[in-house]
């Protein structure tokens, strides 16, 4: 009896040890991990660490995310109230791309920012902010650069191309962003189609690219642009449209079928945990 028990225990141990690497592989697939070299394997009580040169992505919802980068915290398009950021550290830098409700919410900005936070916005967003924010707001127009907390941020145009969509995002109003530190470059598309300015991006390590209709673009348009500027990693995000979700898997497939596909890692996260 004891021998049987021991055998079973040993077997379980062998099986669980054998499963260990696959388990961590699964986690890296389903989480926001962007580099296996520096991954830490989470224990049950520990949040998943997602590391590339100290770079971690936490999707909050749709266009809203938290980036942990080299000890600094960056919020992108914080909306959803303070509760959407429960458990997150306060932001050093906040980037807002546009005036629409899925990108700008003044109450959320008030709730999550501290006196030390710097907030980068296009003029159209600045116009919506109460004067209490004046001391911490940097206004960037398309093409402008600003450096804060060691991050160099460039405002990239974001706008529609299709005739029927021109009304959604006029050129010059909103900002996409390229954030750069120590040679690592992260692109946040904001709401845009596959504009020449996106296709011309260079040396992007991580890209967040939108795809939803009728407001931005199709999965195929997004894939064509991504194949052109060839980021090392791309996160499809902002994919809930007027009549349902676009399919990040379709985008993934298009990218992988392309010539440069093998060199571009597509990372699908759940951007709609509360749908
Ligand atoms: Zn949007």
Cβ neighbours of 51 (radius 10 Å): 18
pLDDT value at position 18?
37
| C-alpha of residue 168 to centroid of ligand 1, in Å | 9
Write the burial class of residue 241 (CB in 10 Å: 0-12 exposed, 13-18 middle, 19+ buried).
middle
CB 102 within 8 A of CB 79: yes
- Classify strands 151-156 and 64-69 as parallel, antiparallel or unpaired: unpaired
| C-alpha of residue 86 to centroid of ligand 1, in Å | 22
Q: Enter the pTM of the model.
A: 0.81
| C-alpha of residue 31 to centroid of ligand 1, in Å | 23
Structure tokens at 43: 């224990």
> What pLDDT tens digit does each residue of the chain (275 aa) get?
444 444 444 343 333 333 333 333 332 333 333 333 333 333 444 434 444 559 999 999 999 999 999 999 999 999 999 999 999 999 999 999 999 999 999 999 999 999 999 999 999 999 999 999 999 999 999 999 999 999 999 999 999 999 999 999 999 999 999 999 999 999 999 999 999 999 999 999 999 999 999 999 999 999 999 999 999 999 999 999 999 999 999 999 999 999 999 999 999 999 998 86
- Classify strands 176-181 and 184-188 as parallel, antiparallel or unpaired: antiparallel
| C-alpha of residue 240 to centroid of ligand 1, in Å | 9
| C-alpha of residue 169 to centroid of ligand 1, in Å | 9
| C-alpha of residue 193 to centroid of ligand 1, in Å | 12
The Cα 8–Cα 195 span in angstroms is 61
CB 102 within 8 A of CB 108: no
CB 61 within 8 A of CB 80: yes
pLDDT value at position 53?
55
The Cα 154–Cα 157 span in angstroms is 10
pLDDT value at position 133?
97
Structure tokens at 267: 């990372």
Q: Identify the CA nearest to 30 among candidates 17, 44, 48.
A: 48
| C-alpha of residue 99 to centroid of ligand 1, in Å | 9
| C-alpha of residue 177 to centroid of ligand 1, in Å | 14
The Cα 92–Cα 73 span in angstroms is 5
| C-alpha of residue 29 to centroid of ligand 1, in Å | 26
| C-alpha of residue 64 to centroid of ligand 1, in Å | 10
Those residues whose C-beta lies under 8 Å from the C-beta of residue 58, and which sit 6 or more positions away, are 32, 50, 65, 66, 67, 68, 88
The Cα 44–Cα 229 span in angstroms is 38
pLDDT value at position 274?
80
């Amino acid at each position: 009896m004891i021998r049987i028990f021991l055998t079973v225990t040993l077997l379980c141990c062998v099986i669980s040890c054998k499963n260990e690497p696959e388990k961590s592989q699964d986690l890296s697939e389903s989480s926001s991990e962007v580099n296996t070299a520096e991954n830490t394997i989470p224990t049950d009580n520990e949040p998943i660490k997602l590391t590339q040169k100290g770079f971690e992505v936490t999707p909050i919802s749709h266009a809203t995310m938290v980036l942990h980068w080299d000890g600094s915290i960056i919020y992108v398009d914080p909306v959803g109230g303070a509760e959407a950021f429960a458990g997150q550290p306060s932001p050093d830098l906040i980037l807002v791309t546009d005036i629409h409700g899925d990108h700008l919410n003044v109450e959320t900005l008030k709730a999550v920012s501290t006196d030390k936070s710097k907030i980068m916005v296009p003029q159209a967003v600045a116009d919506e902010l109460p004067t209490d924010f004046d001391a911490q707001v940097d206004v960037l127009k398309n093409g402008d650069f600003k450096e804060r907390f060691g991050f160099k941020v460039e405002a990239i145009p974001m706008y529609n191309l299709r005739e029927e969509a021109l009304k959604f995002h006029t050129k010059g109003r909103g900002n996409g962003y390229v954030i750069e530190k120590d040679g690592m470059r992260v692109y946040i598309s904001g709401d845009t189609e596959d504009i020449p300015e996106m296709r011309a991006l260079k040396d992007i390590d991580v890209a967040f690219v939108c795809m939803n209709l009728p407001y931005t673009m199709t999965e195929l348009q997004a894939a064509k642009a991504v194949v052109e500027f060839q980021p090392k990693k791309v996160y499809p995000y902002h994919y809930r449209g007027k009549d349902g979700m676009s399919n990040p898997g379709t985008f993934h497939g298009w990218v992988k079928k392309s010539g440069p596909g093998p060199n571009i890692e597509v990372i699908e996260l759940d951007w709609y945990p509360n749908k």
